[in-house]
Structure 1
Amino acid sequence: MRQGLEGSVGAGPMQGSPELERTVAEIVDASRILAHEGIIDSFGHVSARHPNSPGHYLMPRTRAAELVGAEDILIFDLDDALVSKSEARIFAERSIHGAIYRARPDVVAVCHHHAPQMMPFCTSDAELVPVFHLGATMGATVPLWDSQDEFGDTNLIVSTRQQGDSLARTLGANWTVLMRGHGATVAGRSVRELTFRSIYGARNADVQLKAAQVGTLRRLTAAEAVAASDFNLTPFAMDRAWEQWTRRVRGADEP
């Protein structure tokens, strides 16, 4: 096995290179942060590309995000096969994650969630658009993937390679994709960026819904959306939010 793929569930925290241990810790933090912020409930998941082996990714075993610990993180290859020696239950929807990592070498982290704020846009013809500066980090364009188009009536769970690849094609070069009748999937160039995009994408959806109720919606221009996203995804902004979010889920006395 390649260096850095030693980790498995059930024997304590995943050991390996400092980069691997840091990535595992960030998946745990992101899972708990997104649960605390109401983005992920008992369903949904966060993954990250393996820092030492781009042909693999790290993802928790089947468990509610709020409860995920380092010992729960497993290693998968890009065909979504389990590499870790474990008999733990694994998410069927790992197909989402593997497909995006195969299609997008620039993507380092992926989250699938069912945030309530996003669901009206998954169940209507309304377009989700950037309406405020932090919300622009979800991406200037948010496409909608409809499993019905290629696969007809399903249980709406993305559980096959073909379904995952279809979703990844709809995501394209964007950062957030809605899933008709299901939820949303978000990509990022780091775990912290992914967390930021996921939280503020949902907040953008909430603001958009409320704004439409009180008057004519005023969306950001395309240039504003790009400029705002670029600024808010710098360490200057993201690290400030990450520090606050991690203190909430770790406890105020932890670094």
Structure 2
Amino acid sequence: MAASNQSDDTKLHQMQHDLISACHILHHHHILDAFGHISFRHPLKDDVFVMSRNMAPGTVTSPTDLVEYSIKNAEPLDPAAPRGFLERYIHSECYKKHSAVRSVVHSHSEAVVPYTISGVPLRACFHMAGFLGNKVPVWDIINAQKPDDISDLLVRNKRLGASLAAAFGSHGGKEGHPGSNVALMRGHGFTILSTSIQDCVMKAIYTEKNATIQTTALLQRATSPSGSPPICYLSEKEIHDTTWSIAEASHRPWALWLREVERSEIYENLA
């Protein structure tokens, strides 16, 4: 029993360490600034998720900065826990709706926001972002709001979080998996769902990179001579095959990004 508990403690400690590193990596790559957050589903308690207290991601430092929350209601397990993020309902409701999801990122990426308001679909443009598919769903909070809700576009309660979680759809062949890994949020940003912290970070970074590439292509297309060929997005087969093949190499960018933040004087990870 003691050996089992030690193994369980080691697994949780590693995920705490990874979560702090993920906060630093996402800040380093400008996916998160003073705002935004990442979480993971507790490895030992499936009805619990872990995220930092209400603080800038780049300043998260130790396990004392992390809080355990109930997926049922997004309330901290410890009533004396430090103040948490207002939008933790994004995380609780996505974990509740999609049982296979192990990590969630919420970002306000300025490269992605235009695709939440322009009516132009965000689509997979290059092989590193095949997971985006042919059209990323756009969730509009106004469709879930009630007249007395505060209209600041923040996911302030379970009802709004549940509406966002539903926007990801369901995977036809994999129970508990969302139909899309990404959902855009009108005038706000985007949310990523994945099966690990590392993969969630990679998808967040390459979602932003894809948005930048697509915007560049659209601008070039707008100034091209009449009759020029349309933008060549990834085909359905390319989307399927790149999604699988790039996922197989997710360890490579994580190792690089980890080295970058570990050697930076800005970040400190005491977990």
Tell me if TM exceeds 0.5: yes
Partner of 1:5: none
Match of 2:27 among 35, 44, 48: 35
- Within 5 A, what are the aligned runs for 1:225-240? 225-234=239-248, 237-240=249-252
- Within 5 A, what are the aligned runs for 1:84-233? 84-151=78-145, 154-172=151-169, 173-215=179-221, 216-233=230-247
Distance in 2 of aligned mates of 1:138 and 1:238: 16
Distance in 2 of aligned mates of 1:140 and 1:100: 22
Distance in 1 of aligned mates of 2:19 and 2:151: 30
**Given the superposition, is the C-alpha separation of residues 139 and 64 from structure 1 closer, same or farther in structure 2, using an over 3 Å criterion?**
farther
SS of the residue corresponding to residue 201 of structure 2 reads helix
**What amino acid sits opposite 1:91 in the alignment?**
F
SS of the residue corresponding to residue 26 of structure 2 reads helix
Query: 1:121: how far off?
Result: 0.5
SS of the residue corresponding to residue 124 of structure 2 reads coil
Q: Write the deviation string for residues 121-163 of structure 1: whole angstroms up to 9, x where unpaired.
A: 0121010000100022345541000011221671100010000
Unaligned 5+ segments in structure 1 are 1-15
**What amino acid sits opposite 1:35 in the alignment?**
H
TM-score normalised by L of structure 1:
0.89
Partner of 1:251: 263
Distance in 2 of aligned mates of 1:96 and 1:195: 17
SS of the residue corresponding to residue 110 of structure 1 reads strand
| Over 6 Å off, 4+ runs | none
Match of 1:47 among 39, 49, 62: 39
Larger radius of gyration: 2
Q: Write the deviation string for residues 91-125 of structure 1: whole angstroms up to 9, x where unpaired.
A: 01000000000000110000000111101101210
**What amino acid sits opposite 1:43 in the alignment?**
F
Larger RCO of the pair (alpha carbons < 8 Å, separation 6+):
2
**Given the superposition, is the C-alpha separation of residues 140 and 197 from structure 1 closer, same or farther in structure 2, using an over 3 Å criterion?**
farther
Unaligned 5+ segments in structure 2 are 1-7, 170-178, 222-229
Query: 1:85: how far off?
Result: 5.0
Contact 1:45–1:113 at 8 Å: present in 2 too? yes
Query: 1:229: how far off?
Result: 1.1
SS of the residue corresponding to residue 151 of structure 1 reads coil
